[in-house]
């Protein structure tokens, strides 16, 4: 049994990965739109003011290709970007916390990401990356007295038996 405590470095690492995913999703969504606007203005300036020309089949296919490119970019990029925004908001509000502590079996430092709103209802289970023991993080949440309203998350780490998943008290 060990005391687990919140690990801000793991939360920052997770936030940086989700910011990168947000950047990729935003790029997938915005680059086709910017490309379409650039093509539209480039096409408008290159043709001048000739209204009497008839559009050819290749012009129609090029326009359809640009519209399809923009629609696929929005269909893929927007969900990726919005999902990453939700995760980043959860990290900012302290809804998802990283806990660290020592494995009761081998003593190696272990990490787990736990939702702070579900900490008291159900314990979080994870495996030790060194000795592969089954661990259970039991956490508690306490409100801070500061104006920011942040929560303090701490708890204990228990070693579980693999056979019948019962707790081994140390």
- For the chain, strand residue ranges (E) read 2-6, 96-102, 109-115, 124-127, 134-143, 151-160, 167-168
User: What integer pLDDT is reported at residue 67 of this predicted model?
Assistant: 85
From CA 90, how far away is CA 133, in angstroms rounded? 29
123 DSSP assignment = -
- Spell out the residues 6+ positions from residue 31 whose beta carbon is closer than 8 angstroms to its own: 73
Sign of the Cα torsion 127, 130, 133, 136 reads negative
Residue-wise pLDDT tens digits, 46-94: 665 455 455 577 777 777 888 888 899 889 999 999 999 998 988 887 7
**pTM over the 0.75 mark:** no
**99: pLDDT strictly greater than 90:** no
Contact 13, 100 (CB under 8 A): no
The stretch 122-135 carries a mean pLDDT of 83
């Amino acid at each position: 049994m060990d005391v687990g405590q919140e690990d801000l470095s793991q939360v920052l690492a997770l936030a940086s990965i989700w910011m990168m995913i947000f950047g990729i999703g935003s790029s997938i969504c915005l680059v086709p739109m910017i490309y379409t606007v650039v093509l539209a203005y480039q096409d408008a300036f290159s043709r001048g003011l000739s209204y009497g020309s008839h559009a050819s089949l290749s012009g129609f296919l090029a326009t359809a290709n640009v519209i399809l490119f923009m629609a696929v970019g929005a269909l893929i990029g927007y969900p990726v970007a919005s999902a990453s925004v939700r995760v980043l908001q959860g990290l900012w509000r302290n809804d998802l916390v990283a806990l660290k502590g020592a494995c009761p079996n081998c003593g190696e430092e272990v990490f787990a990401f736990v939702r702070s709103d579900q900490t008291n209802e159900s314990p979080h289970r994870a495996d030790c990356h060194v000795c592969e023991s089954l661990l259970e993080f039991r956490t508690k949440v306490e409100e801070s007295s500061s104006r920011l309203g942040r929560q303090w998350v701490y708890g204990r780490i228990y070693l579980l038996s693999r056979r019948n998943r019962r707790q081994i008290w140390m």
